[in-house]
Structure 1
């Protein structure tokens, strides 16, 4: 198993928040506040659903249905990267 393959970074998440949900957030701020709820960044569940869809398209695999219910960037990245790594 190779590590680092298909991992979504904080910077990618920040870019996806802008692209899929129209929410501009600095990647460094997002990293520093990774435990902060998405709502405090101005991202709602619909925006997160758009990000999930975009990641599914980019990686060619479905993400866990829980992904759109994650409350913070850290929880989202942990779940998504765990799923992409295992292919589950």
Structure 2
């Protein structure tokens, strides 16, 4: 069964794929802050999407790549994963 991507996992991916140190608790408290506020650019987000596609064996699509906030990203990714079950 496919789980859900959490703020903790997103922060871990931001570190691994974009070299950013982001506190997942800060993201949880500011889920509608933009990725730019966390210094994540579009290339970093693409790397995160690619890693999730590899990890879950499911394409995330252009919607995930276009998300501007952690909340929108997690909602999109988790919706995609739930639909694949």
Candidates 2, 9, 16, aligned match of 1:12: 9
Partner Cα distance (1:64, 1:6) in 2: 18
Please give the root-mean-square deviation of Cα atoms over the aligned residues, in Å: 1.4
What TM-score do you get using the length of structure 1 for normalisation? 0.92
2:34 paired residue number? 37
* In 2: Cα distance, 1:68 partner to 1:23 partner: 18
The size of the alignment, in residue pairs, is 85
State the match for 1:75 in structure 2.
Answer: 72
Q: Distance in 2 between matches of 1:84 and 1:48?
A: 17
Q: TM-score, normalised by structure 2?
A: 0.95
